[in-house]
Amino acid sequence: MNKWIVALCFFCGACFAHEPERAPELWSWFKDLNKSVSACEIQSSFALKKMGLENQVENDYGIYGTFKGNRVVVKCLAMGEGKSKVWVAVAGNDRDAVELVRNRIVKEII
């Protein structure tokens, strides 16, 4: 019985030893483009590959990957004939790094 009490006290004390995890930073950006969704997707994919995006996955919902420990998603949405909207989102733990990655992707795409 005493072993269980000691184990319970150790477990409860260990719970308070860690700081609560911070939510990741999330920075996003979007812009209307005078180009088709296909052109937006091709340009975005090329720009991300050029930057060195790792684990790049392209599907019907967007382009996903990681860049220097940050998660990246780029989506191109149809906004009428010959027009589209590009949406960029970057998430990570370092606020400054997330902002810089987002800004670099935007600069490469537009």
Rounded distance between C-alpha atoms, residue 11 and residue 26, angstroms: 33
First-to-last C-alpha distance (Å) of the chain: 67
Please give the sequence-ordered ranges of beta strands (E in DSSP) within the chain, or none if there are none. Answer: 25-33, 54-59, 62-67, 70-78, 84-92
For 24-109, CATH gives 3.30.310.220
pTM summary value: 0.78
pLDDT confidence of 109, banded at 50, 70, 90?
confident
Task: Look at residue 1 and tell me whether its pLDDT is greater than 60.
Answer: no
pLDDT surpassing 60 at residue 88: yes
φ/ψ of 81, rounded to 5, equals -65, 120
pLDDT at 91: 97
Determine the pLDDT at residue 22. 81
Domains in the chain: boundaries = 24-109
Mean pLDDT within 22-28:
91
Q: Which residue has the higher pLDDT, 15 or 61?
A: 61
CA 26, 30, 36, 39 dihedral sign is negative
- C-alpha torsion sign, points 45, 48, 32, 28: positive
pLDDT of 50 over the 90 cut: yes
